[in-house]
Structure 1
Amino acid sequence: MYRIEVEPRQGWPAIIEEQGLIYWKTELPDGSMMPYWHESNAYTLSSDEVYEMEASTRLLMEMLIEAGDYIIESNLFSQMGIPGWAVPRIKETWESEPPMIYGRFDFAYSDSGFKLLEYNADTPTSLVETAVQWHWVQDVYGAGGDQWNMVHELLVQRWKELLPRLPGERVYFVHTNAEVSGEDFMTAGYMVEVAREAGFTCELMAIEQMGLHEHVGFVDRQGRAMRSVFKLYPWEWLVHEEFAEEALKRMGDEQGQTLWIEPIWKMMWSNKGILPVLWRLYPDHPNLLPAFFEGEEHKLKSYVKKPLLAREGANSVIVIDGDEADRGPDQGYGEEGFVVQQYTDLGDYDGNHPVLGVWTVDMEPAGLGIRESNGLVTNNLSRFVPHVIDD
């Protein structure tokens, strides 16, 4: 893998905004703005590297199934910060297998191969920019430009598979109004377009606008029953909301109930506690890093301490040879507990440190999006950089 210089397209901000990437700038702590979308450079990968990532991802998906069984059999929910009132529904949906859509593995790539950093299984973002980069490779490299990016096609295919399975006359796509950059809105909006292409009638709305009717169940602004809901709102938040009890009670595809996508069992996979579970089950696996729950004995001198439920590197600490080397922004995470994962080098490309985000649709590897940071923590100031397959 290499990082190369690329001539940015003329008028690229207008191009990507028209394609849906309206949140292409990030506000820095001093109030200035920095482009989040970065097309002055690109990463090149060989076909062999892509095949290796794809094979690793397929294997990890199977390993995650074993890990889910292990969490339930070993009753690790408390250790993972998952509240007891959610456990019966997690177990039930794990067995009944309501539909899931997508996820994103984050990998480090170095001389030792691809190493799993985490799996974003419930509400992964950077979906829009992954789609937009396909237009970039076509514009810059022409019809011969290649990229590992079947995300759109596989999402359409997945929604088509679900046409006969989802209850109700329409699917609701909900996001939170609390997110101000527009990322959640545009991510949910993009998923609406994919589902419409697959044949669904869709409704996009803020989760704050959902209502509850005693006999009908969850309803939209017009009082219509919300039978199928895709939520860009994490379960670890939802189970603590005022309506959590009703959401858990009215979960399913029967009349008066709501089928939620992603399913609640993904609280097991989207939790950083999945990392030590995988290491217990598959020690020394070439795609895994040693990982432990906080308080478990380990001999790691270089490690990353991560909150079980944090996002974008928040409240994480990197220790190298016993000394703190970097830390993520303090956003109040960590009360639920931490895991410790062996530190691995992300690689240094002219001072840039990339994380490779491999998308999955259902159980299938689907494509790649790369974010890079100046520091060792990939955080909310990271940049999205497109890639191209170059053999």
Structure 2
Amino acid sequence: MRRIHHGAPRPGWADTNRALGLVFNDTVSEDGTVQSYWREGPFYDFDLDEILLLEQAAATLHRMCVAAGDHLAAGCPRSDPAVRREAYLTSVCTPDTCLLARAGVPEFTHEQVIRTWHDASPQAWTHADKDLFGTHAHARQSPDFSPSVYGRFDLWYGGRGTTPKLLEYNAQTPTSLLEAAVVQWRWLEQTGHTHHPERQWTSVHERLIEAWRRNLGELVAARPWLPQRPTVYFAYHGAETSGEDLMTAGYLAETARQAGYPVELIEVDRIGVDMADGRIVYEPRKGAPARPIDVIFLLYPWEWLWQEEGGRPIFADMADPNKRGTVWLEPPWTAALWSNKALLPVLWELYRDDPVHRELLLPAYFGDARPADLTSYARKPIWSREGANVELVREGTVLASSGGDYGDGGMICQQLCELPSFAGPGGPYHPVLGVWMIDGEPAGMGIREGVGTDGLITRNGACFVPHTIGSHLS
């Protein structure tokens, strides 16, 4: 792993990137300085064996996260059918009795988080009880299918001779997808570093198309009332002004379209509830007939949605899998079990005594359980995004910190592992490797880097830098 500082910029590269969808490139600081999010010229280069190591690490981490998801789901009293029968109208989940509650997941979501987690394993979940929203008292297996299409592991990696370490898992609404899947591939084609397509770890685009094809096919088989080619709605946060959410949702919609499915882009605030039957609907405009939504991809954080007024009806609609409710991709378990940082202490609890798997982890604890001898650590909100409200502490002294609006939902402490430092003009530079998981398998990498001490925390302004494999050999 090496940072090449003086690559040749492409003529018209900004226009090329914009044509590919990178319309959110320039940011303006308070002093009026314009900074490019995409770094043109510099790039990172890896040897092939390093890429294979990262790929193997990500595949292993995925299996570990599946085990952690089982552990988190089992740690909720509502995973027990007897408790579900007796406790619909009472509270049984507290931070002392329920791992999901300790992670800050609202109790009204727990049953559907657990059910959608087990949807792909019919033997693990049956409906033998009368539930709160339905009238089905007979035992049957859930006909649902609630898959995760994509996510991104953020890894520390220091180059040859080091072991990748999991920093966190962005399993719902991860950013920098378009850049990793399309923009850096075009950069590779145009720079002349290599003419061999295997010289970059980027199969995200092809894998996404195949993931939609497989998962939507299984969803149609699981829900026989769906048409063979259901329209997939892609919902994004319309109030996000940079264009990043729109272009990311649009890109994902395009990959689903290439997989053979009709798609439609909509804003989250156009999603409503039909008060007559509780169905989730799309309201195109005021006065226009609302359309029932069968399948929707949500590029909007679940932890925001379940705190909003519209969150409860969504979970009510999900509650009875025997009726024609809306299928949500990514399903709520991606946020509740994987995309919150409570995953990190759970993984450490499960694997701390495993001499092989623990090497991919950093010791992590819920904030109120940090050992006194852990004096160098990263303190992170259980729920946060874009590096907000993170504090890095080295031997009891704050090294770096970031502001933000998170932290009320609890904190975790993870052993400090400072990002690698690469010297160079304007540096030092500190990269985080984002390994993309498509349909549960490693599919490519994108790199973002910060600069200087502040760059030890990867924030929203961290730049995207492309990569190659073995370009120094060309």
Calculate the TM-score normalised by the size of structure 2: 0.80
Matches for 1:132-281 after TM superposition, within 5 Å: 132-141=183-192, 142-144=194-196, 146-164=199-217, 165-166=219-220, 167=226, 169-213=230-274, 214-215=276-277, 217-220=279-282, 221=284, 222-251=289-318, 256-266=324-334, 267-281=336-350
State the Cα deviation string for residues 133-177 of structure 1 (Å, max 9, x = none). 011111113532510001000000011113432445300000011
CA distance in 2, matches of 1:230, 1:27: 31
CA contact (8 A) 1:216 1:225 kept: no
State the Cα deviation string for residues 293-338 of structure 1 (Å, max 9, x = none). 001041212110000111111000001121101112x221000000
Displacement of 1:29 after TM fit? 3.4
State the Cα deviation string for residues 53-105 of structure 1 (Å, max 9, x = none). 11111111111111111112233012111111111111111111312100000
Displacement of 1:358 after TM fit? 0.1
Displacement of 1:253 after TM fit? 6.5
Distance 1:324 1:211, change over 3 A: same
Corresponding position of 1:102 = 150
Displacement of 1:182 after TM fit? 0.7
Corresponding position of 2:443 = 366
Distance 1:272 1:255, change over 3 A: same
Amino acid at match of 1:217: R
1:356 aligns with 2:433: yes
Matches for 1:1-16 after TM superposition, within 5 Å: 1-4=1-4, 5-16=6-17
CA distance in 2, matches of 1:207, 1:173: 9
Corresponding position of 1:379 = 459
Amino acid at match of 1:26: T
Displacement of 1:342 after TM fit? 0.7
* Count of residues paired in the alignment: 390
SS of 1:15's equivalent in the other structure is helix
Of 178-187 and 251-260, deviating more is: 251-260
The structure, 1 or 2, with the larger RCO (C-alpha pairs under 8 Å, 6+ apart) is: 1
Distance 1:254 1:72, change over 3 A: closer
Amino acid at match of 2:468: V
Displacement of 1:39 after TM fit? 1.7
Let me know the Cα RMSD of the aligned residues. 1.5
Displacement of 1:273 after TM fit? 0.5
SS of 1:378's equivalent in the other structure is coil
Of 28-37 and 78-87, deviating more is: 28-37
SS of 1:250's equivalent in the other structure is helix
Of 371-380 and 293-302, deviating more is: 293-302
Distance 1:254 1:355, change over 3 A: same
CA distance in 2, matches of 1:57, 1:207: 32
1:85 aligns with 2:92: no
Amino acid at match of 1:215: D
Corresponding position of 1:294 = 367
CA distance in 2, matches of 1:318, 1:31: 29
Displacement of 1:286 after TM fit? 0.9
Structure 2: state its 5+ residue gaps: 76-97, 121-145, 221-225
Amino acid at match of 2:349: R
Distance 1:297 1:318, change over 3 A: closer
CA distance in 2, matches of 1:153, 1:369: 16
Query: Quick check: which has more Rg, 1 or 2?
Result: 2
Amino acid at match of 1:80: A
Corresponding position of 1:318 = 392
CA contact (8 A) 2:278 2:313 kept: no
Calculate the TM-score normalised by the size of structure 1: 0.96
CA distance in 2, matches of 1:287, 1:30: 41
CA distance in 1, matches of 2:267, 2:185: 28
CA contact (8 A) 1:215 1:256 kept: no
Displacement of 1:254 after TM fit? 5.6
State the Cα deviation string for residues 190-224 of structure 1 (Å, max 9, x = none). 00110000001000010111122133712221411
CA distance in 1, matches of 2:19, 2:33: 23
Amino acid at match of 2:238: N
Between the aligned residues of both structures, percent identity stands at: 41
CA distance in 2, matches of 1:235, 1:127: 19
Displacement of 1:255 after TM fit? 5.1
Corresponding position of 2:87 = none
SS of 1:345's equivalent in the other structure is coil
CA contact (8 A) 2:203 2:444 kept: yes
CA distance in 2, matches of 1:291, 1:297: 8
Of 29-38 and 187-196, deviating more is: 29-38
CA distance in 1, matches of 2:111, 2:74: 13
CA contact (8 A) 2:278 2:317 kept: no
Which structure shows the bigger proportion of residues in strand conformation?
Answer: 1
CA contact (8 A) 1:27 1:34 kept: yes
CA contact (8 A) 2:379 2:412 kept: yes
CA contact (8 A) 1:228 1:258 kept: yes
